[in-house]
Amino acid sequence: MNLRLTKAAELSVFLNMKLTLQIQLFPDSGDAGKLRETIKRFNEAANWLAPKAFERKLTNKIALQKLYYYDLRDRFDLSAQMACLCISKVVEAYKRDKEVQPSFRQQASIPYDQRLYSFKGIDRVSLLTLEGRVIIPMIMGKYQQELFGYAKGQADLVLRKDGKWFFLVSVDVPNRMPTPTTDFIGVDLGVVNLATTDDGQTFSGDSVESIRQKYHNLRKALQKKADAVKKVGKRPKSIKRKLRVVSRKESNYRRNANHIISKCIVEKAKDTGKGIALEKLKGIRKSQTRFRKPQRAKMSGWSFHQLRTFIEYKAKRAGVKVLPVKPAYTSRTCAECGHCNKANRPSQDIFYCKQCGHTDHADRNAARNIRARALCQQA
């Protein structure tokens, strides 16, 4: 019986995947004020409770709730469920590092469970505030609408520093069972080409590098201006705000490009009935010490871990198998004869085998080796 339950639990975990939908809210000035005051009061309560938990070394939610539940409600006028969620938030923060007393920003995000929010169709959500419930208009994209039916459990209300409101909702999305496969698409990740498949399809990093350089120069200029303002005794608030905007724009560009690349690779694998062989990325940061300082920024200017994560979760949803492969020496090993030599890479782009004379693009040759290793692992 226990064995059957274990297998069922494993199958349930495999068949479902948790994602987070980011839904933008559009409260009017009155409702925005109510939400802002609720966030402020909630975090004030959390900052009042955190020292209590730290002094008593309490990581048990029930024990902390028995001691301070009524005080929280009386002091901060929180509803019953908000007080419980406040206690949970403090306990979770304290558990992460028991050597440090937790603290919370005045406008830090706050949790909402299904007793505190409810959706009114796909364009409105009802949220509890200190002054009762408010119904807030919201907008979802096509992708979010497709997953909206799987929304369940706790969500987070977020007020960004630019004044925009978001509601982060957890969804439990069913995965497809992986299709049995006897072949793989080898994928090599790099900087000049962000991704290259074994059939020669490349996703160039040229535009990415130009964008990275643009934002790098902009941040450098803004930081220089901020330092100059500090010298005359002023606070460069507007400059810091601009730096945050620049950072967010670069992050959004990176995320969008990674979504496009991962979608193309997964769709190709699904259409051809193949799995995806990806190189393991451990140690990519440490290897930067081999590069000159200007090159290190280029090496670290892209989130390969994010790209890999996007490929993996999209593949799960599509029922495509992903197999991690050790990438050692794939860039200097001949995909035709297997000869491994550092001299096989005369340049960044060219692969030329000193033994058999095979010539290919270096990234495609590496992707072919990754595919071959995946086939060996599969066997």
Q: What is the pLDDT of residues 62-78, one digit of tens each?
A: 999 999 999 999 999 99
User: Residue ranges of the domains in the chain?
Assistant: 19-174, 184-378
Predicted pLDDT of residue 1? 32
Angstrom distances, CA of residue 228 to CA of 10, 25, 235, 236, 246: 58, 38, 10, 9, 19
Predicted pLDDT of residue 4? 39
> Could you report the per-residue pLDDT of 184-218, keeping only the tens digit for each?
999 998 877 889 999 999 988 777 777 778 888 88
pLDDT band with cut points at 50, 70 and 90 for residue 131: very high
Q: What are 57's two structure tokens?
A: 């070394």
Least confident of 141-145, 160-164, 316-320, 356-360: 141-145
Predicted pLDDT of residue 370? 95
* Average pLDDT rounded to a whole number, residues 315-320: 88
Predicted pLDDT of residue 10? 37
DSSP reduced 3-state for 180: coil
Is residue 289 scored above 50 in pLDDT? Answer: no
Predicted pLDDT of residue 8? 41
Length of the chain: 379
- For residue 107, what are the contacts with CB-CB under 8 A and spacing of at least 6? 36, 39, 40, 43, 159, 161
CA dist., res. 72 & res. 70, Å (int): 5
Nearest in space to 211 (alpha carbons), one of 311, 302, 295? 302
* Average pLDDT rounded to a whole number, residues 314-319: 88
Work out the percent of the chain whose per-residue pLDDT is above 90: 53
